[in-house]
Amino acid sequence: MKEPYFPEPSARFAQAVESLFEQRVVVLGHRRPDGDCIGSQVALVRCLRALRIDAVAVNPDPIPRTLQNFVGDTPFQNCDSLPEGEVAAIYVDCSDRERSGLELAERFSNPVLNVDHHVSNEGFAATDLVISDASATGEILAGFFFDNEYPVDAVTAQALYLGIATDTGQFRYRGANQRVFRICERLCGLGASPADAANELYEREKPGRIQLLQRFLASFRYECEGRVCIGMLDPSVYEETDTLPEDSENLVDYARSLEGVDVGALIEERDGMIKGSLRAKDNRFRVDLLAKKFTGGGHACAAGFNLDGTLSEFYPTFTREVEAHLLQVDEGSLDQ
């Protein structure tokens, strides 16, 4: 018998699953779904269906192009085709219900289960399984499935691997540890293919995304004596490069990657809104608290926010707040 990955939460997961027999289940993800969101939805729906529970995945936004081939024959629906009547809801990879959009959050306000790894998740379901030291929701689900000896087919293994590979930045972030590699080893044994996943994720670029990257790199500004690198995308950039907002995913990593930079930022203006993404080199920079100043949130190393405004108005406010934040970090006086 192998040592369990998450002994107590896995037992509670099994109890929640037990309660779902004979019910219809929706597995909800978040807006602008990423690899861990889609991977977790695919994996959980497939596992439940293998256990003969009638589950479908529902997401408010379409599945991004590079993630579509991870779905296989897993049933995926959008908000227009929700099941009628009594339905049990499970949220995955959502720090709160609203992350899945207002319509779904209202329709499914009393979920049975909430599986997530975001430290900011305060719990909102009958059973909350939040493991904030896990690298990905996919890692948590893999642990639950293995601990309970639930069936994991090759598509499920690949979906769980997808979540882990993307949310660890291909094993580059702090979350990539011994447990993560142990889980990936088992997933490979069950049919996950790291190279196939990488081909889908990284070898299907559009020329427009190369132009978007060029525009982003050309916009870099260094603030706070070089400790902060800010890249910007203006409102017309998607049209001019024939790209979609989903194509700006991960660009912010380039801003963080510079030597001496503690915090990298992507700020974009779209439809009169500012969307910000923040990445720190180290947990002590607590960009989740920085994002909170702009009504956002996230992880200590990766956070984001959305608010009304334009780039030219917002930029000086942002740099002022970043500077004040770094001062607090340096002084050890962060107000948590």
Judged by the rule CB under 8 A, the positions of this chain that interact with a copy of itself are 165, 168-174, 176-178, 181-182, 184-185, 188-189, 194-195, 198-199, 202-207, 210-211, 213-214, 217-218, 220, 222, 254, 256-259, 281
Neighbours of 149 (CB within 10 A): 9
In the bound state with a copy of itself, the residue whose beta carbon lies nearer, of 122 and 282, is 282
In the bound state with a copy of itself, the residue whose beta carbon lies nearer, of 1 and 218, is 218
In the bound state with a copy of itself, the residue whose beta carbon lies nearer, of 96 and 200, is 200
Q: Which residues contact 281 (CB under 8 A, 6 or more apart)?
A: 256, 261, 262, 263, 301
- Nearest-approach distance from CB 222 to a copy of itself, in angstroms: 8
What is the spatial distance between Cα 59 and Cα 45, in angstroms, rounded to a whole number?
A: 13
In the bound state with a copy of itself, the residue whose beta carbon lies nearer, of 128 and 220, is 220
HSE value, Cβ hemisphere, 13 Å, CA-based, for 65: 13
- Nearest-approach distance from CB 177 to a copy of itself, in angstroms: 6
In the bound state with a copy of itself, the residue whose beta carbon lies nearer, of 10 and 66, is 66
- Nearest-approach distance from CB 119 to a copy of itself, in angstroms: 17
What is the spatial distance between Cα 297 and Cα 291, in angstroms, rounded to a whole number?
A: 5
| Three-state SS at 164 | helix
Neighbours of 146 (CB within 10 A): 21
| Three-state SS at 66 | helix
- Nearest-approach distance from CB 199 to a copy of itself, in angstroms: 7
Q: Which residues contact 51 (CB under 8 A, 6 or more apart)?
A: 17, 21, 150, 151
- Nearest-approach distance from CB 261 to a copy of itself, in angstroms: 8
